[in-house]
Structure 1
């Protein structure tokens, strides 16, 4: 399987997603559309992973619009997509939903709560990394996947499409990259966590276990 990853900023890489790809002996290619303006061809993509980034899905950059065209083509060909943070917001817009300011800034570690049993074996609660201030509506025909204390719409699932507002993919080294490069973004977070709080938080194995379950599910759907 050819798994194409869209990475939008240097400090938000695939993390444990790459482990799943390698363990399953899939082929991985990483594209950087914000930097180079290049996207994979839909006919050369068996699965698409869309990572996060500091930009907004409501921005008018040509590459953001081109990325949504690719998402639409993937959906038309019934190919699986996992979107994370900005990636999930891009998916939501393609599916006709609105992306807007959430009026609460979530940056740091906090729990999300499972809202559907559509995928078997998922943990009912996960402590995940949040790094966002925008949110999406749940697209028509999709199911609410997760909520948090401060934000209702933390994830959605629709057939072989999964969008997550939060991050399950980071390893400790990825969190370190995010902190040293983007630490000013912690200001005014509702969680009031310091750089040290976020860096020293122990990442639960459940995060990557659940991430792998999502990837297995959409790959086989």
Structure 2
């Protein structure tokens, strides 16, 4: 399977998603549309991963609109799509729903709670990395998958083929360090009130990886 990844900033890569891809023998291609302007075609995409970034799907940029055209085609072709943070917001925007300011800016580690999709056998609570101040509406026909204490809409699953998460399951310890050392000013104003040191000292729980793998397995299987 060819997995095409849309990466939107140098310090937010695929992390454990790449490990999952390697484990299953898939071929991963990483695109940087914010820098180079290139996107894969729908015909050469078996699965799409849309990562986070500092931009908003509400920004009036050509490449952001072109991403949504690609997402729209892949949805119509029933191909698996995984969206993280900005990526999840892009999926929601493509489906015609709103992305707005969240009631609280969340930057740092905090729990999310499973809301629906008990059939997936994923944990009822996960301690995950948040790095956002916007949130998405839950599209019609999608199941609310996760909520946090401060933001209700933290994740959704749709049509057995699409997952959108406002938070980050994919980072490994090295990835968290990369995010913090390059984007630490974004901590200012966070409702989680965590310092750089506190974030860097937080151990990534094993069940984050297990949950990530379960969800990727679920949407990628026919």
Q: TM-score range by the shorter chain?
A: over 0.9
TM-score normalised over the length of structure 2: 0.98
Unaligned runs of 5+ in 1: none
Whole-Å Cα distance in 2 between the matches of residues 180 and 57 of structure 1? 25
Match of 2:185 in 1: 184
Does structure 2 conserve the Cα–Cα contact (< 8 Å) formed by 1:7 and 1:13? yes
Match of 1:137 in 2: 137
Whole-Å Cα distance in 2 between the matches of residues 91 and 211 of structure 1? 18
Cα RMSD after superposing both structures: 0.7
Whole-Å Cα distance in 1 between the matches of residues 9 and 199 of structure 2? 19
Match of 1:216 in 2: 217
**Count of residues paired in the alignment:** 221
Does structure 2 conserve the Cα–Cα contact (< 8 Å) formed by 1:88 and 1:163? yes
SS at match of 1:203: coil
Does structure 2 conserve the Cα–Cα contact (< 8 Å) formed by 1:95 and 1:140? no
Match of 1:155 in 2: 155
Instruction: Give 1:117 deviation, angstroms.
Output: 2.7
Unaligned runs of 5+ in 2: none
SS at match of 1:134: strand
Instruction: Give 1:118 deviation, angstroms.
Output: 4.8
**Residues 40-80 of structure 1, C-alpha deviations (whole Å, 9 max, x = no match):** 01000000000000000100100000000000010011100
Whole-Å Cα distance in 2 between the matches of residues 120 and 34 of structure 1? 34
Stretch moving more, 97-106 or 58-67? 97-106
